[in-house]
Amino acid sequence: MRTEVRILVRSDRMPGGPRALLGSVGCGPDVVQVREDAIFTIVTLDERDERLPRLVQLLTERGISWLEGRHDRFTDDELEAAPLLIMSYDVNARVFGGPRVGTTYDMSEACERCGAGARQTSAMIIDGEDLHKLEGRRAATTPYDDVLVDEKLAAVLAASGATGLSFRGVFAAFEKRGHIQLPWRQLCATHTMPPMSPRSTGIVPDDLCSCRRSGFDTPSEIPTRLVYRAADFTEIRDVNVTWEWFGDTHYEGDVGDALFAYPRFLVTPKVRCIFLDAGVTGFDWLPIRVVED
């Protein structure tokens, strides 16, 4: 595992242009991404790269502000050996679906304040306007991390013996034509993990709800490291969701107007392998960590 640091600087803030300024601290085309039309120049460096402190010093001295992101990167062998992987999809390719499009939820055991614990009771309804985003794809997600797979991939998953999964139908909602069933399935997790270990990093209580399940911030400058205790793994399945729900919430009692936070999807390397064999790209796979207590 290595940690990658991405520094974003506004191109027009660099006197003499990004190439000249960044080149002065040894940051060349191997680590600098400059697009002439883009507002930001991106420098990607390993956390241990000696150019990183020099770059930060240069920007500080010149009074140039920057944004920083830190992400852990893993080899295939490390991903294969992970107990569970957080599976997250390219945010630009998501299809809109969920409560505001007509998907229904049982709120009887959900938090009254934030809606965490809402239990889906219908098929997944997605916005018909987003249907084109599924073309040529075998998997996708909604903004709530609901995982959608085409029906052939759903059949492979069902036949694989993978545990802890169930499927729901997927419908597209059109304003005039009503609902049309799609040859897709929603992949659902039957098992919810226990609360994460407080040793997790990059998942920071921000506006924590009284239920303690939502209201986390995930600041980009700290790598997200979701940690569980060894004892939390006794009940795991191949497909699981976190107890914590992430993202913004807006819930005043009307599901049709709700913005729910959502749990993260955690799968074993076996499930990742099935997705990769199906030619699915677009997912990031981030290993969770285990501590003894």
Q: Are strands 119-120 and 105-106 parallel, antiparallel or unpaired?
A: antiparallel
CA atoms of 146 and 130, how far apart (whole Å): 15
Q: Which of 52, 95, 123, 209 binds Zn ion (CB under 5 A)?
A: 209
CA atoms of 72 and 290, how far apart (whole Å): 16
CA atoms of 109 and 133, how far apart (whole Å): 33
Of 19 and 212, the one with the shorter C-beta distance to Zn ion is 212
Of 116 and 266, the one with the shorter C-beta distance to Zn ion is 116
- Minimum CB distance to Zn ion, residue 12 (Å): 43
Structure tokens at 106: 């049982």
- Minimum CB distance to Zn ion, residue 116 (Å): 5
Q: Contact between 258 and Zn ion (CB under 5 A)?
A: no
Which among 133-141, 166-174, 204-212, 222-230 is the span making contact with Zn ion, rule CB under 5 A? Answer: 204-212
Q: Three-state SS for 158?
A: helix
Q: Contact between 43 and Zn ion (CB under 5 A)?
A: no
Of 47 and 112, the one with the shorter C-beta distance to Zn ion is 112
- Minimum CB distance to Zn ion, residue 204 (Å): 17
Of 113 and 229, the one with the shorter C-beta distance to Zn ion is 113
- Closest to 121 (Cα-Cα) out of 110, 105, 132: 105
Of 69 and 194, the one with the shorter C-beta distance to Zn ion is 194
CA atoms of 133 and 145, how far apart (whole Å): 16
Q: Are strands 85-89 and 283-287 parallel, antiparallel or unpaired?
A: antiparallel
Residues 55-114 interacting with Zn ion (rule: CB under 5 A): 111, 113-114
Q: Three-state SS for 108?
A: coil
Q: How far is CA 58 from CA 9, 18, 51, 69, 227, in A?
A: 12, 12, 10, 18, 35
- Minimum CB distance to Zn ion, residue 113 (Å): 5
Contact 254, 235 (CB under 8 A): no
Which among 26-34, 85-93, 208-216, 282-290 is the span making contact with Zn ion, rule CB under 5 A? Answer: 208-216
Please tell me the number of Cα atoms within 13 Å of 184 on its side-chain side: 27
Residues 106-165 interacting with Zn ion (rule: CB under 5 A): 111, 113-114, 116
Which among 83-91, 146-154, 210-218, 253-261 is the span making contact with Zn ion, rule CB under 5 A? Answer: 210-218
Per-residue binding letters, 166-195, with Zn ion (x by CB under 5 A): ------------------------------
Please tell me the number of Cα atoms within 13 Å of 193 on its side-chain side: 30
Of 107 and 290, the one with the shorter C-beta distance to Zn ion is 107
Of 186 and 249, the one with the shorter C-beta distance to Zn ion is 249
Q: Contact between 211 and Zn ion (CB under 5 A)?
A: yes
CA atoms of 120 and 102, how far apart (whole Å): 11
Residue ranges binding Zn ion (CB under 5 A)? 111, 113-114, 116, 209, 211
